[in-house]
Amino acid sequence: MEVFKLVSNIALIVFSVILSVVITLQPSKSFGSSPLMGAGSETYFSKYKAKSFEGKLILLTKIFTVLVMAIALGLVIAQRFWTVTPTTGQ
């Protein structure tokens, strides 16, 4: 049980750091864009976003978010139901 907790905690930390980096790498969606600047029309980049670097970052964000949530939930369930009660040595 302790090995599971240790491995899960390490994985949670690593995946959380990776998730933070992936989110930081994504470009911001600012409100300053206007149709005059070319943001209103459908462009080649917006049409093929899934194949672009930004599309890959969005996919990685979704994957690592699910991983972090699953590991965190698994740790909570493990702590709640698999707690070992100490035995008294009489």
What are the domain boundaries of the chain? 2-24+48-81
Q: What is the pLDDT along the chain (90 residues), one digit of tens a residue?
A: 788 889 999 999 999 999 999 999 988 776 555 555 555 555 665 666 667 888 899 999 999 999 999 999 999 998 888 776 666 655
**pLDDT score recorded for residue 79:** 85
The angle formed by the CA atoms of residues 56, 58 and 64, to the nearest 5 degrees, is 100
Closest CA to 75 of 11, 8, 14, 1: 8
Q: What is the pTM (predicted TM-score) of this model? A: 0.67
